[in-house]
Amino acid sequence: MSVSIAQMEEARRALDAPLFADLAGDCQVSFEFFPPKTEKMEETLWNAIETLAPLGPRFVSVTYGAGGSTRERTHATVARIARETAIPAAAHLTCVDASRDEILDVAREYWAAGVRHIVALRGDPPREGEKFQAHPDGFENAAALVAGLKSVAPFEISVAAYPECHPDSTDVAADLDNLKRKIDAGANRAISQFFFSADAFFRFRDAVEAAGIDAEIVPGILPVSNVAQTRKFAGMCGAAIPAWMDRLFEGLDDRPAARQLVAATIAAEMCRKLYAGGVRHFHFYTLNRAELSYAICHLLGLRPNPAAAEKAA
Ligand SMILES: Cc1cc2nc3c(=O)[nH]c(=O)nc-3n(C[C@H](O)[C@H](O)[C@H](O)COP(=O)(O)OP(=O)(O)OC[C@H]3O[C@@H](n4cnc5c(N)ncnc54)[C@H](O)[C@@H]3O)c2cc1C
């Protein structure tokens, strides 16, 4: 990777204290939510959206539950964001347990509802531990889904990328080939799986460039405040949880406020390193809670923009 003068200056500043002094606030952010199951969860989600909207996100996205289990709820949530806010809304869509026609019908419904951005994924098998099996009339992987979506309408499309390699890939080269197929099929950018080492992301970004993949790779940031839950997710998606993470949260089980402070510190420090390495778009896995992501954005120099808040209201 070649490093520009501006990046070297940034790296020098990152080594000085205080780490977060006077950042320009020149980065963009996006926020990921999951569709709520209950009225209470719906209220929590909308509080989170209202808190984060004034930061002027580039887009917000809503996940699609394993096996298409949240199909209606994902649609309802994305459609409501598109209807009631000015934030561009993206719908996640997977290939699991559905025929091509069924999936493309869902995409047509999104287009009709004014949704222009899809996060196109293969999805995980509905039952943990099984191998992914394509539906007999379905899309075999995310690359095929991207091509299918492009045949429906000129969607903006994001796909998934794996700084620490997807567990189904035989090796890093195969994983990169797969990412290239998704971009060549028409995806605009890749959003990464979460990770806890800025160096792992930089190595991946270099490998992507060396593989001739000319697309934006947006790091996915998971602010962790519950290590046990994160370990469960990480096991399924090939992300490594460093041993220091356990040690940092040791003894904090009954101290939620301290846990939040530790969580914000870890994630903000990693984002600061990514920023020093030239990253200017961060995608936050919010788990429908605003405060941690808001605090990290604030440390990165973002401030509420009254125009964005008004548009989002
Ligand atoms: C940003 C982000 C958002 C996500 N959102 C959701 C969500 O909303 N709902 C959900 O269920 N899951 C979601 N996931 C998880 C995702 O569905 C899983 O990680 C899934 O196992 C892989 O999906 P993919 O789109 O990366 O698959 P693909 O890109 O299709 O690849 C999956 C694996 O199969 C291999 N592969 C694919 N095609 C071939 C081929 N032709 N030959 C050989 N190998 C091949 C690839 O190398 C890779 O290892 C998300 C992941 C990320 C990073």
Summary mean pLDDT of the chain = 92
pLDDT in tens, 75-108: 999 999 999 999 999 999 999 999 999 999 999 9
Question: Who wins on pLDDT, 261 or 232?
Answer: 261
Query: Looking at ligand 1, which residue's alpha carbon is closest to its atom 10?
Result: 123
CA distance 281 to 290: 18
**At 131, is the pLDDT very low, low, confident or very high (cuts 50, 70, 90)?**
confident
Q: Active site includes 216? A: no
Q: Which of 118-122, 239-243, 285-289 has the weakest average pLDDT? A: 239-243
Whether ligand 1 lies within 6 angstroms of the CB of 169 is answered as yes
Give 122 Cα–ligand 1 centroid separation in angstroms.
Answer: 5
Query: Looking at ligand 1, which residue's alpha carbon is closest to its atom 45?
Result: 178
User: Whose CA is closest to 224, among 190, 265, 255?
Assistant: 265
Query: Looking at ligand 1, which residue's alpha carbon is closest to its atom 37?
Result: 141
Q: Which of 9, 10, 32, 269 is catalytic?
A: 32
Give 297 Cα–ligand 1 centroid separation in angstroms.
Answer: 28
pLDDT in tens, 282-300: 999 999 999 999 999 999 9
**Residue 67: per-residue pLDDT:** 66
User: Whose CA is closest to 52, among 223, 294, 292?
Assistant: 294
Buried b (16+ CB within 10 A) or exposed e, 108-129: eebeebebbbbbbbbbbbeeee
**Residue 68: per-residue pLDDT:** 66
Which amino acid appears at position 18 of this protein? Answer: P
Average pLDDT over residues 26-39: 96
CA distance 156 to 49: 22
CA distance 134 to 131: 10
**Residue 1: per-residue pLDDT:** 67
Query: Looking at ligand 1, which residue's alpha carbon is closest to its atom 44?
Result: 169
**Rounded to 5°, angle at Cα 180 from 193 and 163:** 25
Is it the case that residue 179 has pLDDT exceeding 60?
yes
**Residue 25: per-residue pLDDT:** 93
Is it the case that residue 313 has pLDDT exceeding 60?
no
Give 121 Cα–ligand 1 centroid separation in angstroms.
Answer: 5
